[in-house]
Amino acid sequence: MHSVLDRALDCVVGALGKTTDPTGVTLHRSPDSGRARLADRAFDFNSAVPSGVRLEMLTDATDVELDALLTVVLPLGMPSAGSVFDLVVDGELREPVVAREYGRVYFDPATGSLESGPAEPATVRFRLGPRAGERRVEIWLPVTPALTLIDVRVTDGASVRPAPANGPLWVHYGSSISQCSDADRPTSTWPAAVARSAGRSLVNLGLGGQCQLDPFMARAIRDLPASAISLELGINVHNADSMRERAFVPAFHGFLDTIRDGHPRTPVLVVSPIVCPAAEQRPGPTLLGPDGKVRTVDRPAELAFGALTLTRIREVLSEHVEQRRKDGDDRLRLVDGTTLFGPDDVADLPDGLHPNAAGYARMAERFLPLSFGRAGAFG
């Protein structure tokens, strides 16, 4: 086996930035400049979780190996099931490959403290089969850990070059509900499943806890050559209690105005929040209770003016999408998130906020006709 790290980095799809240090190369789903100015540890971590990021290469290798440092954040005392990679060869999805070596950062929800455990690199091997000339190979990186790529190797004598895009570019922005850390494999996040079914190349900007309408993320979307754009909005604003209605409305319009500067006629689909029973009629912030369920925090009534419940966020998004359509933006559409995952689906909402793998599969099935179907927003 010989190293092809530099050539492999040219094959990365789905990342917007990268940082290099003596450990290796960390691929980020956010632009480097905006992330550096924000200087937020949680944003940095979720940006480095490569949900939807993959290597798309043409190679005549029989085997590909990756060395990577994987870091998982876990509730205090909870084990991890490992980090799952996916392999697609000439369009055929192979069995997932699981790495058992990873670093752990334990999070205590009662105190907010972080405790780091030991970390060791993982080596992951993908067996492509006997050499039969050049093949299109996709290696989808995990959706739960942050990942630093140390090396990529292929069979001695084999070549690697970037593969052409497998379809027009779809850019999706959202929260942990789009990052999908509870999906059972990288190609089973609902955005990845939809992209593969629709024949689209995906950039998934779903960042756990970080869908805060940051202007630098709007500029990143503006500058991508997208043929379709979707925005899953609202839940993180509620989770963090980061905006009241007075701030949320202009932030929403400013985010869309920036995107429209680069995409005046690209179809844009806004997705309002899926169901979250604890937050439907109560404003944030939300916290994780000792039972592992999401709960809201009581506040005095005199401090609640303008605070956003999920019900009100859906109303605001619907009202302002409709206003923009009346103003002439007929390429803007809205999907009510509860049509993707609603009250009848809460059995697949184990913590009261995030769907499980079955829930994400259902979201993909429901989103596909609303987006890329003949009558869908992108159809």
CATH number at residue 47: 2.60.120.260
190-198 vs 357-371: helix crossing angle, rounded to 10:
40
For the segment 255-301, what is each residue's pLDDT rounded down to a tens digit?
A: 999 999 999 999 999 999 999 999 999 999 999 888 889 999 888 88
Q: Pick the last residue of a domain from 106, 140, 162.
A: 162
- CA dist 368 and 355 (Å) reads 17
My answer on whether 220 and 86 are in the same domain is no
My answer on whether 268 and 325 are in the same domain is yes
In this structure, the strands spanning 228-232 and 169-174 are parallel
- Alpha carbon 90 to its chain centroid, in Å, reads 24
- pLDDT classification of 33: cutoffs 50, 70, 90: very high
For the segment 339-361, what is each residue's pLDDT rounded down to a tens digit?
A: 999 999 999 999 999 999 999 99
My answer on whether 267 and 298 are in the same domain is yes
For the segment 240-249, what is each residue's pLDDT rounded down to a tens digit?
A: 999 999 999 9
In this structure, the strands spanning 114-116 and 103-107 are antiparallel
Per the prediction, the chain carries an average pLDDT of: 93
At residue 101, the pLDDT reads 72
* 378 domain-assigned: no
Least confident of 106-110, 163-167, 180-184: 106-110
At residue 291, the pLDDT reads 86
* 67, β-bridge pairs: 123, 151
- CA dist 350 and 341 (Å) reads 13
My answer on whether 268 and 141 are in the same domain is no
The alpha helices in 131-180, defined as continuous H runs, are 176-179
Helix (H) or strand (E) holding 34: helix 32-38
My answer on whether 152 and 219 are in the same domain is no
CATH number at residue 257: 3.40.50.1110
- CA dist 343 and 312 (Å) reads 17
Q: Which residue has the tokens 């990942």?
A: 147
What tokens were used for 188?
Answer: 């089973």
Judge whether residue 211 has pLDDT over 60. Answer: yes
Q: Which domain holds residue 43?
A: 2-162
* 298 domain-assigned: yes
Total domains in the chain come to 2
- pLDDT classification of 77: cutoffs 50, 70, 90: very low
What is the average pLDDT across 112-125? Answer: 72
